[in-house]
Amino acid sequence: MIDIAQLRLEPGVERSLDVPVALPDIIIGGVTYSGPAAPVVARVDITRLISGLLMRMRLSSTILGPCHRCLEEAAVPVSIDAREYQADHPEKGAEAEEVCDYLEGDDLDVATWAADAIVLTLPHKILCREDCAGLCPSCGTNLNHEVCACVPAEGDDRWGALRGLLKDDSEG
């Protein structure tokens, strides 16, 4: 948390702070992802403009959680460069760009801002490695470590006409 009032910023003045941030657990689709146990250092720049505050946060960390394919632990590096603006006197019904959701009075909630920025930075599929083979859909064997003895499914006959198109396309 940063108390912006204590910075005593005047228009045109910028302050840079190194803020230790304990990254909260992030829950996406019922799955928990977490940052490192120790706080990470976020660089926060706050500039007083004539019309409000411009805030920038930069940090790098690693997020840990289950791989989407094999469920083993995946480590995803993230780098954040986020900006927020808070108008001094946002009118009722002000544009979303004029209000910072992380500023309550004079207190800037850097941890929540960092967590939200991380969610926006994470890839759609979190993988333990790029070529993760995943789990066998029949027996659940981790195909990264061993080959299972399951017989591959022959497929659904209703898609036969489309398979025929694939064969025709590969021949020509």
Average pLDDT in the 101-117 region?
A: 86
- Please tell me whether residues 22 and 101 are part of one structural domain: yes
Task: Tell me the average pLDDT across 142-158.
Answer: 81
What is the spatial distance between Cα 51 and Cα 163, in angstroms, rounded to a whole number?
Answer: 62
The reply to whether 27 falls in a domain is yes
**172: in domain:** yes
Phi, psi of 73 (to 5 degrees): -65, 135
In a domain, 161, yes or no: yes
**83 shares its domain with 23:** yes
The closest alpha carbon to 44, from 98, 12, 8, 3, belongs to 3
Round the average pLDDT of the chain to a whole number and report it: 84
Residue 128 counted as domain residue: no
54-95, pLDDT tens digit by residue?
899 999 999 999 999 999 999 999 999 999 888 877 665 556
Residue 89 belongs to what domain range?
Answer: 2-121
Q: Output the pTM of the full model.
A: 0.71
Residue 74 inside a domain? The answer is yes
pLDDT confidence of residue 72: 93
